[in-house]
Amino acid sequence: MTPAIFGIAGPELSADERAFFKDADPAGYILFGRNCIDRQQMRRLTDDLKAIHGRDRLIVSIDQEGGRVARMKAPEWPKYPAGEAFSRLFEIAPASAIEAARVNAEAIARELALVGVTVDFHAPFDVRRPETDDVIGDRALGSEPMQVAALGRAVLDGMARGGVVGCLKHMPGHGRATMDSHKELPVVTASDAELETDIAPFRELAGHPLGMSAHIVFTAWDDSNPATLSDTVIVEIIRGRIGFDGLLLTDDIDMQALEGTIPDRGAAALAAGCDIILNCWANMDDQRQIAERFPDMAEKTAQRLERVHSAMGDQPDEIETADLIAKRDALLALTEQAA
Q: Give Cα 208 distance to the centre of its chain.
A: 12
pLDDT above 70 coverage of the chain, percent: 100
Residue 68's pLDDT band (cuts 50, 70, 90): very high
Q: Give Cα 166 distance to the centre of its chain.
A: 7
State mean pLDDT over 13-27: 97
Label residues 273-290 b or e (16+ Cβ within 10 Å = b): bbbbbbbbbbeeebbebb
Q: Is the peptide bond before 122 cis (omega within 30 degrees of 0)?
A: no
**pLDDT per residue over 71-116, tens digit each?**
999 999 999 999 999 999 999 999 999 999 999 999 999 999 999 9
State mean pLDDT over 146-173: 97
Residue 274's pLDDT band (cuts 50, 70, 90): very high
**What pLDDT, on the 0 to 100 scale, is given for residue 6?**
98
**What pLDDT, on the 0 to 100 scale, is given for residue 336?**
85
Q: Is 120 helix (H, G, I), strand (E, B) or coil?
A: strand
**What pLDDT, on the 0 to 100 scale, is given for residue 320?**
85
The answer, yes or no, to whether residue 294 has pLDDT greater than 80, is yes
The answer, yes or no, to whether residue 338 has pLDDT greater than 90, is no
Residue 317's pLDDT band (cuts 50, 70, 90): confident
Domain boundaries, the chain: 75-275+296-338
Where are the alpha helices (H) located in the chain, listed in sequence order? 15-24, 39-53, 83-92, 94-114, 145-161, 196-204, 231, 262-272, 284-293, 299-311, 322-338
**What pLDDT, on the 0 to 100 scale, is given for residue 185?**
95
- Contact between 148 and 127 (Cβ < 8 Å): yes
CA distance 121 to 119: 7
CA distance 212 to 336: 34
Residue 303's pLDDT band (cuts 50, 70, 90): very high
The answer, yes or no, to whether residue 339 has pLDDT greater than 70, is no
Whole-model pTM: value is 0.97
Nearest to 169 by CA among 249, 245, 230: 249
- Cα dihedral across residues 106, 255, 13, 307: positive or negative: negative
Residue 51's pLDDT band (cuts 50, 70, 90): very high
Residue 176's pLDDT band (cuts 50, 70, 90): very high
Nearest to 172 by CA among 136, 197, 189: 197
pLDDT above 90 coverage of the chain, percent: 92
**What pLDDT, on the 0 to 100 scale, is given for residue 248?**
98
Q: Is the peptide bond before 11 cis (omega within 30 degrees of 0)?
A: no
Residue 64's pLDDT band (cuts 50, 70, 90): very high
State mean pLDDT over 207-232: 98
Domain spanning 75-275+296-338, CATH architecture: Alpha-Beta Barrel (3.20)
- Contact between 251 and 278 (Cβ < 8 Å): yes
Q: Mean pLDDT over all residues of the chain?
A: 96
What is the CB neighbour count within 10 angstroms for residue 59?
23
User: Which amino acids are annotated catalytic?
Assistant: 182, 251
